[in-house]
Amino acid sequence: MILGALAAAMAGDLNVVTPPDAEVYVDRAIVAPRQDGSHVAHRLQPGMHEIEIRVGRRMVDNLWVEVPGDALVRVEWAPGPTGAVFSVFAPTGGDALARPHHPERPDRPPPGPRPMDPPDFDAFLRSVRESSFDTSRMGLIQTAIAHNHFLAEQVAALLRPFDFDSKRAEVACLLAPRTLDPQNAHVIAGAFDFDSHRSEALACFR
């Protein structure tokens, strides 16, 4: 009984304030919002605790926070123009309580690949169209895929200048790994004259 009372006395609380559409999980357990919109996790053991912020059941941010014994730690989370920000307020009184501490966060991952910009793609497509032979067109595309990604509709446009269906299928399969929306590969079907080559090309996007 004495040990239990001592443990309860040493437990800390964590108050997380978020916008109303956010859900808060502490140590993987959801914390119900109070009437004022804050989320309070009670009787946490002294030490590090993980906060997860979820919107629409999808985790959008997380942070580890130290909760001392017999203390209340306040954490605020809010989206910002360059990404969400956590502010951790000191658990004791005085000056520290008035100023939020912004914990160091690892750099966010760089944005994913983007398709070739429309003006650049238009110029590239023009050069493919103006080439005299399929072999030279293929050479241009092989050079371009080293540093570019494409949308399925751009792939379809690149296939049409080729003279032979077999070459179109070859080019489609070459471009498939660099296509950002393979789920839209059906748009290339109209570039083919024969079902066999059409099926061969579409299979490369699955």
Return the minimum-mean-pLDDT range out of 66-70, 127-131, 137-141, 166-170.
66-70
Of the pLDDT bands very low, low, confident and very high (cuts 50, 70, 90), residue 110 is low
Coil/strand/helix, residue 77: strand
Place of tokens 């398709």: 115
Nearest residue to 140 (alpha-carbon basis) of 156, 109, 161:
161
* pLDDT recorded at residue 82: 60
Nearest residue to 59 (alpha-carbon basis) of 101, 92, 99, 30:
30
Rounded to 5°, the CA angle 32-33-39 comes to 90
Q: pTM for this one? A: 0.49
Query: Per residue in 1-16, pLDDT tens?
Result: 433 444 445 688 888 8
* pLDDT recorded at residue 98: 33
Domain with CATH 2.60.40.1120 in the chain: 2-98
Q: At what angle do helices 152-159 and 165-175 cross, to 10 degrees?
A: 150
CATH of domain 2-98: 2.60.40.1120
**Residues in Cβ contact with 181 at an 8 Å cutoff, skipping those fewer than 6 apart:** 151, 152
Nearest residue to 163 (alpha-carbon basis) of 135, 144, 127, 198:
135
